């Protein structure tokens, strides 16, 4: 592996960039093997220049940005504290058939390293922003194992590509991790450590160490960092939104016989135009199935006279977009479909405009405003909410049973545990998705029963106003109908 390390020094020097307060990543080796001839566990610029630019660890995100993220996390911790992040593990569908691997989001956010059987340790070493060390445990190169399982990056690449201060064999964790943790003032980790959790080497190590304090959860430290997106993250999400939105618009132009056919088209369109694929299992729901919020069977026929509700999005560099559109299967809305759609669209437009740093509103506040606006729109269409109060609130809970939105980023529902009550600031990225789902219930006008409308965009909050990341997915009634 010495050749690989030497090659990376020559061609990957931009990847070794550290924050200005840290030492330069300069190593001395003597060889001329090109990194383009080597194999890694994920794309690097030299092997995949069509995916990564020089200096990038993942699409759009540079080694410097990953180093800065680790620095910010360490700076937020008490002196002498250590963050411990185990990777995700490979999940099996049945027998030896596995699901595509997806790295644990906090681990990915801080390292860019996308392999299982790994563990990252970030230790605060001083009071300045760049005072930290980064240790990465992972699998060493193994030619025989890689012949069967495909390549992985190994220990040298962990240092030279991913900028670990030290790298070690994950199999040596029981002997090498305790010295890194023994004198920590605090340990932060989201690893399951309870007695009922599945046994793991990390849990055993922490249980056997004479710790001063019980480990604390890490997510409260990472959530504020992840919630505010950098310009590079926003650019990645904008690209995902652009490609996904165009795929939606293209799909609206065509006639589809079944939900499955439409689903397959969108999945292909996302991948065909430079995205990694689907960001989540989509909803493709024809007619009354649109009332089922997370309907994912996507197997029924699509019938003229009905609408189809599609909640889908693509992924770029592990950053996702989340879009929902509704359109008529036959190309034109019926009068009730048009009226209900227009009501939801009016509320969606108003709610998107509230996503500005100047407004200072939280998602919860926008939800309350949207709920009031939606009730007013529905009353105009003949829905009876009585004199308001608890009864009206109950009816709105039936018609609009979910929140106006959620944070979006590396995860579809990003930064779990980060409250919706936080005032939105520049860099927050959210969805805005009002919806109305009318059951077959005598309390509601007959001609609207069975209809479902949800309109959703991914939106980034900016000082000057909202940036709609999915604007290429058309949503005006006239534009949708004109596509046919």
List the domain boundaries for the chain: 2-225, 228-482
The whole-model pTM stands at 0.92
Q: What is the pLDDT of residue 17?
A: 39
Q: Where are the alpha helices (DSSP H) in 137-258?
A: 143-149, 154-160, 173-181, 201-208, 219-227, 231-252
Nearest to residue 280, comparing CAs of 247, 315, 233? 315
Q: Which residue has the tokens 């699409």?
A: 59
Residue 471 has pLDDT above 50, yes or no: yes
Q: pLDDT of 116-125, one tens digit each? A: 999 999 999 9
Q: Which fold has domain 2-225?
A: Creatine Amidinohydrolase; Chain A, domain 1 (3.40.350)
- Per-residue model confidence (pLDDT) at position 1: 32
Q: What's the mean per-residue pLDDT of the chain?
A: 92
Residue range 153-182: mean pLDDT, rounded:
96
How far are the Cα atoms of 118, 204, 217, 233, 414 from residue 197, in angstroms, in the given order?
19, 11, 15, 34, 24
Q: In this predicted structure, what is the pLDDT of residue 28?
A: 34
Determine the average pLDDT of the residues in 322-351: 98
pLDDT for position 354? 97
* Mean pLDDT for the stretch of residues 438-446: 96
Any idea which of 196-205, 283-292, 385-394, 432-441 has the lowest mean pLDDT?
196-205
Q: At what angle do helices 63-76 and 219-227 cross, to 10 degrees?
A: 130
* Reported confidence tier of residue 85, pLDDT bands at 50, 70, 90: very high
What percentage of the chain carries pLDDT values higher than 90? 85
User: Could you read off the pLDDT of 394-427 as tens digits, one per residue?
Assistant: 999 999 999 999 999 999 999 999 999 999 999 9
What SS3 string covers 443-477? CCCHHHCCCEEECEEEEECECCCCEECCCCCCCCH
Per-residue pLDDT at 173 exceeds 70: yes
Q: What is the pLDDT of residues 91-116, one digit of tens each?
A: 999 999 999 999 999 999 999 999 99
Confidence of residue 196 (pLDDT cuts 50, 70, 90): low
Q: Residue 361: is its pLDDT beyond 90?
A: yes
Percent of the chain with pLDDT over 70: 92
Above 60 in pLDDT, residue 342?
yes
What pLDDT, on the 0 to 100 scale, is given for residue 9?
38
* Token pair 């919806």: residue: 435
What is the C-alpha to C-alpha distance for residues 174 and 484, in angstroms, rounded to an integer?
63
Question: What's the CATH architecture for 228-482?
Answer: Alpha-Beta Complex (3.90)
The CA distance from 185 to 187, in Å, is 7
Say what the pLDDT of residue 33 is.
Answer: 61
Burial 130-154 (b: 16+ CB within 10 A, else e): bbbbbbbbbbbbeeeeeeeeebbbb
Residue 137's DSSP bridge partners are 119, 168
Residue 31 has a pLDDT of: 44
**The pLDDT of residue 195:** 63
Place of tokens 């009068």: 335
d(CA 237, CA 224): 18
What are the pLDDT digits (tens) for 9-49?
Answer: 333 433 443 443 443 343 333 345 677 788 999 999 999 99
Q: Among the listed ranges 184-188, 303-307, 339-343, 385-389, which one has the minimum average pLDDT value?
A: 385-389
Interval 230-252 mean pLDDT: 98
Tokens of 45: 């610029």
- Report the distance separating Cα 411 and Cα 364, nearest Å: 20
Quick one: which of 342, 364, 474, 345 has its CA closest to 430? 364
User: In which band, very low, low, confident or very high, does the pLDDT at 276 lie, cut at 50, 70 and 90?
Assistant: very high
């Amino acid at each position: 592996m010495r050749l690989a390390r030497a090659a990376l020094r020559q061609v990957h020097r931009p990847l070794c960039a550290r924050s200005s307060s840290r030492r330069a990543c300069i190593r001395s080796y003597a060889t001329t093997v090109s990194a383009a001839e080597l194999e890694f566990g994920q794309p690097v610029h030299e092997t995949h220049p069509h995916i990564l630019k020089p200096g990038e660890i993942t699409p759009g995100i540079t080694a410097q940005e990953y180093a800065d993220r680790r620095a910010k996390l360490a700076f937020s911790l008490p002196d002498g504290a250590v963050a411990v992040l185990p990777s995700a593990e490979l999940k099996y569908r049945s027998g030896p058939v596995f699901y595509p691997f997806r790295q644990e989001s906090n681990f990915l956010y801080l390292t860019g390293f996308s392999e299982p059987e790994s563990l990252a340790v970030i230790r605060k070493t001083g009071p300045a922003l760049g005072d930290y060390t980064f240790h990465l445990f992972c699998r060493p190169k193994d030619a025989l194992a890689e012949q069967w399982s495909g390549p992985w990056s190994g220990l040298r690449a962990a240092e030279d590509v991913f900028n670990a201060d030290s790298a070690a064999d994950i199999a040596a964790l029981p002997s090498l991790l305790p010295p890194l943790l023994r004198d920590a003032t605090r340990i932060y980790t989201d690893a399951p450590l309870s007695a009922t959790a599945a046994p793991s080497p990390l849990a055993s190590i922490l249980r056997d160490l004479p710790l001063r304090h019980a480990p604390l959860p890490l997510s409260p430290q990472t959530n504020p960092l992840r919630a505010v997106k950098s310009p590079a993250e926003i650019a990645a999400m904008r690209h995902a939104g652009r490609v996904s939105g165009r795929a939606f618009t293209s799909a609206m132009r065509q006639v589809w016989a079944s939900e499955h056919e439409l689903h397959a088209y969108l999945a292909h369109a996302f991948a065909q135009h430079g995205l990694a694929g689907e960001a989540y299992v989509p909803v493709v729901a024809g007619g009354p199935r649109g009332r089922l919020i997370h309907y994912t069977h996507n197997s029924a026929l699509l019938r003229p006279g009905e609408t189809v509700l599609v909640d889908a999005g693509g992924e770029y560099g592990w950053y996702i977009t989340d879009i929902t559109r509704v359109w008529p299967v036959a190309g034109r809305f019926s009068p009730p479909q048009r009226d209900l759609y227009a009501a939801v669209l009016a509320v969606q437009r108003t709610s998107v405009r509230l996503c500005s740093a100047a407004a200072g509103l939280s998602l919860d506040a926008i939800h309350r405003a949207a709920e009031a606006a939606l009730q007013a729109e529905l009353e105009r269409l003949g829905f009876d909410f009585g004199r308001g109060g608890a009864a009206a609130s109950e009816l709105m809970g039936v018609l609009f049973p979910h929140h106006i939105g959620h944070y979006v980023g590396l995860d579809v529902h990003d930064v779990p545990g980060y409250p919706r009550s936080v005032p939105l600031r520049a860099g927050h990225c959210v969805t805005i998705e009002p919806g109305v789902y009318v059951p077959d219930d005598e309390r509601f006008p007959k001609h609207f029963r069975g209809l479902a409308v949800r309109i959703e965009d991914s939106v980034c909050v900016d000082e000057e106003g909202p940036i709609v990341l999915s604007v290429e997915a058309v949503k005006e009634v006239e534009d949708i109908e004109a596509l046919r």
